Amino acid sequence: MDIATIIGILSGLGLVSYTVLSGGNADIFIHVPSMMIVMGGASAATLVNFPLKEVIGVMGVVRNAFRNSNSEEVKLIDQFVNLAKVTRKEGILAIDRELKNIKDDFMRSGLEMAVDGTEPETIMTIMETELNYLKERHKRGQQIFLSLGTYAPAFGMIGTLIGLITMLKNLDDPSTIGVGMAVALITTFYGSLLANLVFLPIAGKLKNRSDKESDTKELIIEGVLAIQLGEHPRNISRKLLNFIPPKMRPDDPNEK
């Protein structure tokens, strides 16, 4: 689990709950119909905005925001360097028996193509295409969350307008004004909270994750092509280390 996402949402909710509870009227803040118009309205607008299949598929993407992301680049580079040594000693076919140890699907399918003798251009086209579709799918996920983050406050305001208009129409009994306005404002509260603690930040996290994941996939593509071309392990190491920040690089004598 990605601790930051969890901590962020839970601590944000905790702070808001604490503020609500310390006011001594927590019950008014739990209002199912208000939640329905904000969440339902934002979801309805998002359904109109995006193809049905993508809205349904967004749950698969949102897991990315909660999944832990270990930075595996250094391990990947080690793997590529080892594969390069094997290739130089025993030829590219020897990689076949290493494939079962490779956990990353993208890397393994790339190496399988290399072992099968597919031309480098074809491998690159196929891998880049897959990467582009991944990025595209991630981008859709971000857009759906950005949409929810825009429509939720809008439906919060629509709910508040409904509440205000209803209350103003019935102004005969002034004692109800306060409660009426309080209830009317609940939808604006829900809309702002959902947008600013959940939807917009998750859209941001999805973007950050997607950027990182496609950096890693670019590294893998570069590595697979270098293996196929039978490059020297030291060159592969130097090339791939350029994909990771200087501080994260292991001490490498080739660098100086």
Closest alpha carbon to 232 in 96, 91, 87: 87
Q: How far is CA 36 from CA 147, 152, 162, in A?
A: 17, 11, 14
Per-residue x/- track, 114-143, a second copy (CB under 8 A): --x-x---x--xx--xx--x---x------
Q: What is the DSSP string of 232-249?
A: -HHHHHHHHHTTS-GGGS
- 82 scored as a contact of a second copy (CB under 8 A): no
Nearer to a second copy, 83 or 202 (CB): 202
Q: How far is CA 210 from CA 54, 91, 98, 205, in A?
A: 17, 35, 28, 8
Nearer to a second copy, 86 or 134 (CB): 134
- In angstroms, rounded to a whole number, what is the distance separating the alpha carbons of residues 122 and 138? 24
Nearer to a second copy, 82 or 232 (CB): 232
| Stretch in the footprint of a second copy (CB under 8 A) among 38-46, 82-90, 92-100, 219-227 | 38-46
Please tell me the chain's helix, strand, coil percentages from 3-state DSSP, rounded to the nearest 5: 85, 0, 15
Nearer to a second copy, 89 or 256 (CB): 256
Q: Among 72, 91, 119, 168, which residue sits at the site for a second copy (rule: CB under 8 A)?
A: 168
User: Scanning residues 198 to 227, which ones bind a second copy (CB under 8 A)?
Assistant: 198, 200-202, 204-205, 208, 212
- 186 scored as a contact of a second copy (CB under 8 A): yes
